[in-house]
Amino acid sequence: MPDIYDIFLSYHRSDLTTVKIIAKVLIQRGLKPFLDKWNLTPGQPWLKEIEETLETSKAFGIFVGAKGIGPVQVAEMRAALQRKFRQEGYPVVPVLLPGSNPKNHRHLPAFLAQQTWVDLRSGLKNQKELELFMNQLQPGNQGNPEIPTPVVHTVTKVEKGKLLRTLILLENEDLIYLGEITGIRRAEISSDGIKTIAVSLVNRAEILGLLKDLQTNLIIEYPAIALKGGLA
């Protein structure tokens, strides 16, 4: 059984020094953070270990510094948001580091923006924000080594008609983007108008067995549209 960590720390390489300081604070408070530079097993396939840790950690922290979110963080963040969608109460905590400006960082899922941000832009000595961070990690549960049983979201099946009607509410590029993060290449989707793109996207997702993934990504990325379409 893999080690169970209290929080997975996702960061841009340029922010490693700052995140190490925060990781040490977490350890001092009795928490067990996962930091790849410290915890990956030498000589082992790192991707598999990362995936296992993302699935078993008790919380996920994504750090946003001056350079925003890197490509590896994007993949880790999407895995965490998928888990949050499946497992009610799983903490996904965005942390603003000194030098960050979230208004300049595009392509952050709207679902992430709904989470409670920890704002450390004024410095790492901001005790109020550090306490907010600690409180979201549920330190009272750290003595329980068991992985919590996932609570299934109320949307448990794909309704193609409703999914299609919701997709039509989006813009062309949003549809292409949804396809790409679901695993459907731009070249596999027809591009002649919103309705054609949406129908093509749903059909291709069904062929590839990705309908549920497409619906999940739609709810994560565009929660207001999903709510309007009756999916969430």
Mind listing the pLDDT tens digit for each residue in 191-227? 778 889 989 999 998 888 888 888 888 887 777 788 8
**Per-residue pLDDT at 154:** 39
Q: What is the mean pLDDT of the segment spanning 128-134? A: 88
Q: What is the mean pLDDT of the segment spanning 133-162? A: 55
- In 151-222, where does DSSP find H-type helix? 160-167, 172-182, 194-207, 211-221
Please, what is the average pLDDT of the chain?
80
Please, which residues have CB within 8 angstroms of residue 17's CB and are 6 or more apart in sequence? Answer: none
pLDDT for 9-44, tens place per residue?
999 988 999 999 999 989 888 899 999 888 776 555
At 228, the pLDDT band (50, 70, 90 cuts) reads confident
At 151, the pLDDT band (50, 70, 90 cuts) reads very low
Helix (H) or strand (E) holding 189: none
Q: Which CATH superfamily is domain 7-141 in?
A: Toll/interleukin-1 receptor homology (TIR) domain (3.40.50.10140)
Sketch the domain layout of the chain as residue ranges. 7-141, 160-228
At 161, the pLDDT band (50, 70, 90 cuts) reads confident
Q: What is the mean pLDDT of the segment spanning 56-63? A: 92
The token pair that represents 211 in the structure block: 């309908």
- pTM across the whole model: 0.63
Report the DSSP beta bridge partners of residue 62: 10, 94
CA triplet 161, 167, 172: central angle to 5 degrees?
145
**Per-residue pLDDT at 110:** 61
How many Cβ atoms sit within 10 Å of the Cβ of residue 96? 19
pLDDT at 150 over 80: no
**Per-residue pLDDT at 178:** 86
To the nearest whole percent, how much of the chain has pLDDT over 90?
Answer: 12
